Structure 1
Amino acid sequence: MAWECEDIEVKEEKSDYSDVDENASTRDYKQTRILDACSRKNIHVLQFLAVSRGGFLSDAIRRQAWPVLLGVNVDDHAGEKVGSDSWKTLPRHRDEDQVKLDVDRSFVYYPNDDTPEQLGRKKSELSDLITEVLRRQPYLCYFQGYHDICQVFLLVLPPPLRATAMARLSALRIRDFMLPNLAPAVAQLRLIPDILHAVDPALCAHLSRIEPYFALSDTLTMFAHNVQHYSDIARLFDVLLAREQVFSLYVFAQIVLRRRDELFEHDEPDMLHFTLSKLPADLDIESVITDAASLFTAHPPETLRSWRCSISSASTLKTARDVRVSAVQDLADGHAYFQKQHRELRWAETKEKTLKIVWANRTVIMAVVIGLGAIYFRDAPVWSKLATWLVPNGYF
C-alpha cells in the first residue's frame, strides 16, 4: 500500500513537472517536493524528480538527495567536520601510485576560478578521498577515470559524507569497473549495439564494423571524464544516481542516435571510433536525459540479447536494478558480489588458457587419443581409418 501511495504522488507530480520552466514559483515548488522526498527517504519520488527538467536544481539540494539515493545515513555523520583519519594507518593500497598520477591531472575543466592554492587543497582532498576508499575496501581495483567521479562528489558533498558515499557507489553501483580486469565493463558495452539495433537497425549496421569500445571512457566515469561543464555533469549525476546502473548505457545510446546524420558521413572505422569517443560540444543534457528515459521504457534491458547471455547475475547492472534495494545493501553485500564476479573471471581465464593449450597441442593430443583407442580397440580398424581421414582433410 505504501508504494501505491508513492505511485499516486509521482502521477500528481508528472502534471506539475512535465514541462518545468525557469520561473521562481515552479522552482520553489519543485525544491519543496525534493526536500520533502529527501526527508522521507522517498527514492521513488526522487527518481522522477531527477529526470524532470533541472534535476535536483542546486548543489545545496544535491547534498541531501545524493546520500538518500546511495543509502548514506546522514545522521551517522551529524556534527562531523571532517572524516576519521584512522584510514591513514591502514596498509597501503597497491594502486596508490596510479592514484597520485591521476590526481595530479585532475580538475582540468572545473572549477575554473580557483587560485593555485585552492586547487592544490582540492587535489590533496581528492587524493585523501580516493586513498581512504581504497584502503578501507582493499579488494577494489582502482581504474583510470575513477578520480573524475570522485572530484564531482568532492565538489558537491560535505567532507564527512564523501568517503562513505564513494565507498557505497564503488562497491554497490560501479563495482564492475573495479574488478581485476575490464571484462565485465566490456560486457556492459555489448548492450549499446543491442539498444541501437532495437531503435535504428541501419545505424547499428553502419557501426557494426567497430567494437563499442568508444563508449568505455564515458561509461566508466559516469561521463565525468568528457563533460566539460560542471553544471552539466552535476545535472547528469542526478539522474545516473537516481536510476538503475544500466541507465548510463541508454544515455550513451541516445547520444549516438542524436548523431545519426553525422555518423553516416563517415565510413572509415577509425573515424567512426574517433567521432564516437568524443562527446559533442553542444550536447543538450536535458533532452538527452528525457529521450534516454523514453528509450529505456520502450526497450528495457531484459529485452536485449546481451543482457541475457553476457551480463553476470552478480553484475551491478542486475544487483542494483532497484535503487531502493541497493540503498539498503551494505558494503559486505558489495564484497560478496565482487568475490562471485572474481571467481567467474578466474574461471573464464582458466577456460581460455586451457582451450589455447589444447588447440596448440591438438596434433599430439589427437595422436595420443588415437593411439590409446587403437590399443583398447585393437580389433576395430575404424581407428586407423579415422587417422588416415583426419590428416589429409587438414584437421592436423
Structure 2
Amino acid sequence: MKTSGTASSLINENQNNDRQQRKMADIAQALQASPADVAALRRMAISEGGLLTDEMRCQVWPRLLNVPPNILEQEPETVERDNNKDYNQVLLDVQRSLRRFPPGMPDEQREGLQEELIDIILRVLKRNPQLHYYQGYHDIVVTFLLVVGERLATALVEKLSTHHLRDFMDPTMDNTKHILNYLMPIIERVKPEVHDFMQEAEVGTVFALSWLITWFGHVLADFRHVVRLYDFFLACHPLMPIYFAAVSCTEKRRCWIANVTWPWSITCCHRFLRICPTRPSSAERETCLSSSRHPNWPERLPFATAWRPPRLKTLTWPRRSSGLTRCSTSAGGGNCNSSNSSSRRWQSARRWPGPP
C-alpha cells in the first residue's frame, strides 16, 4: 500500500510539473506577442496557481496594470524626508512590519529593504498630493517591493494607488465604508445562513477592514498565498477583494458552527473571523479564488441595497495619520454619506455587471 501511495504521489507531482511547464510556456508566448496578449495574461493570472514565479510576476504585473515601458525604466528620484507630513507615521508602520519579511533574512538586508519601503511610499505620495496615507498601505507596498524591487515597485504602486486603491486614499474613510457595505449583501445572496448567523451575532463589517485595505497581506501568514492573491486581484475588477472577503466567510461556515456557539458575542465572532483566512492550504486558497468568480454572485449591488447594521449603536474605525472620521450609525440604520465628488468615482463600479 505504501508503494502504491508513493507511486501515485510521484505521478501527481509529475503531472503538476508538466502543467506548470505548459503554463510557463503559455505566459512566455503571451508576453512575446506584439503587442503583449494581456487578455491571455489575465486568464493565466486568475487560473489555478497564478503566475507561478516572481520572475514571471516582474514581467506580467506591469502589463496587468498597463504601466508604459518608459515609466518602468525611470530611475526613482531621491525622497526628502525632513518636514514630510507622512514620514513619522510611515516610519512607525514600517518598523512594525518585521513579520512581512522572509524569516531568517539578515538584519542588514531587511533594514535596507525597510528604507526602500519608506522611500517608495513617500515618493508615491509626493508625486500624487491628492493621495492620503493610511495604515495598512505599507502592507501592500512591501509585497511589491519583495517581488519586483524598488524601481518597478515604485511605478506599479503608483498606478495601483491612483486606481485600485484610490478610494482607500481619500482624506476620510467614507468610500472605504461604502465598499465594506457590499460584504453582507453578497454573503446574504450566496449563503443566507451565514448572513443570518452574522446578523444575529452583530459582528458588523469592521472585521474585514484589514483584509480589504491590505489585500489580505496583513493577515495571511504565508507569503506565497499573498502573491497568489495579488496575481488574482491585479487581473480582476478592483472590487474583487470584497468578493474574496465574502468567500472567506462563507467557505468557513462549518467552522462557524463548530467554533462559535450560543451565546454568540461580538468578541467571539470577531476572534474567529480574524483568524479564519490566515493559514489556508493551497487547495482552500484556490477554492476560495474560484468561488470569488462564481456565476451565482450578485450581478449588481447598487448603493440603495448596501447593508446597514441593524442593531450596532456605533462603528468605530481605526485611526490613521490623515485624520479619520467616526461613522455613527443609529438603531434605525443611518449611514455616512460620501461627497458628490467621491460618489462620482463609484459610477463605473455601480454599473459593473459582476466579476469577470
Q: What is the TM-score with the length of structure 2 in the denominator?
A: 0.76
Flag structure 1 segments of 5+ consecutive residues without an equivalent: 1-18, 323-396
Tell me the residue number matched to 1:210.
Answer: 203
2:349 alignment partner in structure 1: 318
Instruction: Identify which of 62, 70, 89 aligns with 2:65.
Output: 70
When you count helix as a share of all residues, which structure comes out higher?
1
Q: Which runs of 5+ in 2 are unaligned?
A: 1-11, 307-336
Aligned letter for 1:60?
Answer: E
Looking at structure 2, the residues matched to 22 and 319 of structure 1 have their Cα atoms a distance apart, in angstroms, of 42
The one-letter amino acid of 2:65's match is L
Aligned partner letter, 2:240: F
Q: Does 1:55 align with 2:50?
A: yes
Give CA-to-partner distance per residue, 1:183-239, whole Å, 9 cap, x none. 111111111111111111121011012211110001010001111111111111110
Would you say 1:241 and 2:238 are equivalent positions?
Answer: no
Structure 2 counterparts to residues 135-154 of structure 1, below 5 A: 135-154=126-145
How much is the aligned-residue C-alpha RMSD, in angstroms?
A: 2.8
Q: Deviations over 1:241-291 (max 9, x none)?
A: 111111111111111112112223331122112211233444135544444
> Paired residue for 2:91, among 100, 105, 110?
100
* Matched-pair contact (CA < 8 Å) for 1:20–1:53: no
1:35 equivalent to 2:28? Answer yes
Equivalent residue for 2:273?
276
Tell me, in whole angstroms, the C-alpha distance in 1 between the residues paired with 2:350 and 2:31: 23
The 2-side partners of 1:223 and 1:49 are apart by 21
Which of 184, 191, 210 does residue 175 from structure 2 map onto?
184
Give aligned pairs, total.
Answer: 300
**Residues 37, 46 of structure 1: 8 Å contact kept:** yes
Code of the aligned partner of 1:201: P
CA distance in structure 2 between the partners assigned to 1:302 and 1:317 by the alignment: 14
Q: Given that residues 71 and 155 in structure 2 are in contact (C-alpha distance below 8 angstroms), is that contact kept between their aligned partners in structure 1?
A: no
* CA spacing shift, 1:307–1:98, aligned 2, 3 Å: farther
Rounded Cα–Cα distance in structure 1 between residues aligned with 2:352 and 2:70: 26
The normalised TM-score by structure 1 is: 0.69
Residue 305 of structure 1 and its aligned partner are, at CA, apart by 4.7
**CA apart distance, 1:321:** 6.0
Q: Structure 1's 187 and 287: CA in aligned 2 closer, same or farther, altered over 3 A? A: same
Q: Where do residues 354-393 of structure 1 align in structure 2 (5 Å cutoff)?
A: none
- Residues 1:262 and 2:259 are matched in the alignment: no
Identity of aligned residues (%): 28
1:76 deviates by 4.1
**What is the aligned partner in structure 1 of residue 146 from structure 2?**
155
Does the Cα contact within 8 Å between 1:227 and 1:233 map onto a contact in 2? yes
Asked if the contact 2:185/2:305 (under 8 Å) is kept, the reply is no
Of structures 1 and 2, the larger Rg is shown by: 1
Provide the C-alpha distance between the structure 2 equivalents of 1:249 and 1:296, rounded to a whole number of angstroms. Answer: 12
Given that residues 145 and 220 in structure 1 are in contact (C-alpha distance below 8 angstroms), is that contact kept between their aligned partners in structure 2? yes
Q: State the AA in 2 paired with 1:263.
A: W
User: CA 1:260/1:240 → structure 2, altered by over 3 Å: closer, same or farther?
Assistant: same
**Counterpart residue number, 1:25:** 18
